[in-house]
Amino acid sequence: MLSKVADFIAKHQLLSSSGLHLVALSGGADSVALLRILRDLDYRIEAAHCNFHLRGAESDRDEQFVKDLCNSLNIPLHLIHFDTVEYASLHQVSIEMAARELRYGYFRQLCQDIGAETVCVAHHRDDAVETFLMNLLRGSGIHGLTGIRPKNGLIVRPLLGVSRQEIVDYLHSIGQDYVTDSTNLHDDVLRNKLRLNVLPLLKDINPSAAENIDKTARFLQETEKIFDSFMQTALQRLVRTEGQTQSVSISALLQQPAPATFLHEWLSPYGFNTAQTQQMIDGLNSHPGKTISSVSHTLLIDREMLILEPVSDPSKPIRIPEPGRYRFSSEMLFDVKLSNDITISKLDDCATIDAANIQFPLTVRLVQSGDAFCPLGMEGHKLVSDFLTDRKLTLLEKHRQLVVTAANGNILWLVGQRPDNRYRITPQTTQVLIIKIENVG
């Protein structure tokens, strides 16, 4: 057993021989075996135990057991108590998630405090097989079918190369007892159902079922490396980024070997799920203008492009009662002033307007349905939406379009696009209203 674990540690470069390593010690068979094995392999270790106060007297029993064990082995022990139920309620997460967040948060801080290089946890091969099956049942891509990794940041798993039965046999061989978590004996959650019911049935069908599933997961880990390398290259080639906006050509997307998989890899980091990815694929040829949103981002299926942008908070209109500087949003100011210098601006971020017959207050707001104006250089009115379509703005850009209106409601400036022809500067102009955008951090 010691040789098998030592070889696994060396193969995956999990532990340094000179560093300090923290062992997560629950008192169960797996963590007790991990503690004994690392001690016998002469690694410098300390133990940490979390009492989550979820199982009454049983939780206190576990704490006393690990105290006695560490005392008998002369291994330093760090103890902490958590009000897990209160934490779960306060943060609106499940008890299981609360315990996980508390446990790993404590381990990270403790490593900093004592100078430990790693946190050693006792996941074994059967845990990896259960995780594989859980993800398979839920429906998963390649990333969910690669099992549990030997190393993830500070967390290392030296026992992943051995089975639960090997661990129990090892403890019996050295006469080491352990405690049993009674909640693991009931098939009331998915992992327990798999452990108590499904895996034994699979082993009846094929005694090597667990080993073969684990082998498949390791094959997929190697395949995942190829997949990730290909996807990284494809994303760099196809995704165009301008500021916070990303876009992908629909025609280029459809030339990929697996467009839906490409979309999933591109968009899942922004909160989009598999069902939404399928909606996008279904809508590529039939729903131009359709938008699909996650909590943080919106994807637009435009005429030729898929366009991804962060969801922005709806901007509230502002009133400008007189010349001055006014903040429209955290990123944008409007500088409004009157001038006797009759110069026409040719900049997109600045409008120069004949000040005659313009009454304050001005209003800066998002464009609304039915808005119309007289574009500079044109005769007659035109719907703003039609003007923006002619300018080939996307639906997302149209939704963000701002207008500046006078007190009578007339549009003076379609911001960044065109002033209104009715308020253009002429040879008779004596005073100019200057409206300028300033982008600020």
User: How far is it, in rounded angstroms, from Cα 415 to Cα 436?
Assistant: 9
Residue 428: how many other CB atoms lie within 10 Å: 7
At 333, the amino acid letter reads L
**Nearest by Cα to 224 from 158, 163, 140:** 140
Report yes or no: 93 and 101 within 8 Å, Cβ to Cβ.
Answer: yes
Domains of the chain: 2-219 (3.40.50.620), 239-310 (3.30.465), 318-439 (3.50.40.10)
The tokens describing 372, both together, are 């119309």
pLDDT interval class at 288 (50, 70, 90): low
Please enumerate in sequence order all residues whose Cβ is within 8 A of that of 395, keeping only pairs 6 or more positions apart, or say none. Answer: 289, 291, 300, 302
Reported as type and span, the H/E element at residue 439 is strand 432-439
User: How far is it, in rounded angstroms, from Cα 263 to Cα 398?
Assistant: 24
pTM: 0.65
Q: What is the pLDDT of residues 365-409, one digit of tens each?
A: 989 888 999 999 888 889 998 998 888 887 778 878 899 999 999
Give the strand pairing for 155-156 and 118-120: parallel
Angle at Cα 405 formed by Cα 400 and Cα 408, nearest 5°? Answer: 145
**Nearest by Cα to 145 from 231, 218, 226, 206:** 218
The tokens describing 75, both together, are 């291994």
The dihedral formed by the CA atoms of 201, 204, 208 and 209, expressed in degrees to the nearest 10: -20
Mean pLDDT of 418-425: 92
More confident residue, 275 or 365: 365
Q: What is the pLDDT of residues 82-127, one digit of tens each?
A: 999 998 888 888 888 999 999 999 999 999 999 999 999 999 999 9
Report yes or no: 363 and 317 within 8 Å, Cβ to Cβ.
Answer: yes
Q: What is the pLDDT of residues 226-268, one digit of tens each?
A: 999 999 999 999 999 988 889 999 999 999 888 988 998 899 8
SS3 189: coil
Reported as type and span, the H/E element at residue 309 is strand 305-310
Per-residue model confidence (pLDDT) at position 171:
96
SS3 82: coil
Residues in the chain: 441
Alpha helices by DSSP H, listed for 74-175, are 84-91, 95-114, 125-138, 164-174
Residue the block writes with tokens 């099956």: 133
Q: What is the pLDDT of residues 20-43, one digit of tens each?
A: 999 999 999 999 999 999 999 999
- For 122: left if phi > 0, alpha if psi spans -120 to 50, otherwise beta; the answer is alpha
